[in-house]
Amino acid sequence: MKTSIVKSLGTAAVACVALTGCSLVAPVATQMSYNASDGVSVAADSVNVRNLLLVGDEKGVFNVVFTAVNNADSSALIHFDFLSTDGATAHAHFMVEPGTTRTGNLAEGDPVEVVELPGQAIGSTVQAVVTVNGVETELSVPVLDGTLPEYKPYIVTAEEAAKH
């Protein structure tokens, strides 16, 4: 009788492994964090910077575009240091109040910060250091233009760049 119980348990275990296949030990994809858009994201201190990207033209004038969610009760300073492929550097900084802040959409009156990285190719990435309240994170930031209609409101003309 004990032999039949052991055989039944063994058969059940083999059936379980056979029916579940690799999913028994594979990671669950819905629990993995990823960037759902073209930009990159970083969480530092109590601030989440989401969908960070540079949008501009072939002249090297770029709008720093992102959404920040400040979960703290006080303002946070976000500082960006960008390094282009040819060694040029550019800096931008933003004060983010508690809650959500969007930047870069000229049509909606968002705050705009323009950086100049001459020679940076559209479609490439720029190395960046994002500093939030003293916490530094390095990442590669995509450089886009207005080819896609959703990014046209973020293109900064030379006249608009002179205002910033």
For residue 85, the model assigns a pLDDT of 85
pLDDT at 32 over 70: no
Average pLDDT over residues 34-47: 81
Q: Tokens 């059940």 correspond to what residue?
A: 12
pLDDT at 70 over 70: yes
Beta-strand relationship, 47-56 and 135-144: parallel
Q: What is the CATH number of domain 34-163?
A: 2.60.40.3770
Among the ranges 2-11, 44-53, 103-112, 154-163, which has the highest mean pLDDT value?
44-53
Distance CA 51, CA 64 (A): 10
pLDDT at 81 over 90: yes
Give the bridge partners for 42, in sequence order. 49
Distance CA 47, CA 154 (A): 23
Average pLDDT over residues 133-153: 91
For residue 156, the model assigns a pLDDT of 84
Three-class SS state of 53: strand
Beta-strand relationship, 135-144 and 76-83: unpaired
33 CB neighbour count, 10 Å cutoff: 7
Average pLDDT over residues 91-116: 86
Note the residue count of the chain.
Answer: 164
Average pLDDT over residues 22-28: 64
At residue 108 the predicted structure's pLDDT band, cuts being 50, 70 and 90, is confident
Q: Where are the domains of the chain?
A: 34-163
User: Is-contact 64 103, C-beta < 8 A?
Assistant: yes
For residue 121, the model assigns a pLDDT of 92
pLDDT at 140 over 90: yes
Task: Please list the helix, strand and coil fractions of the chain in percent, rounded to the nearest 5, in that order.
Answer: 25, 40, 35
At residue 100 the predicted structure's pLDDT band, cuts being 50, 70 and 90, is confident
Provide the Cα torsion 101, 31, 46, 110; round to 10°: -10
This model's pTM is above 0.75: yes
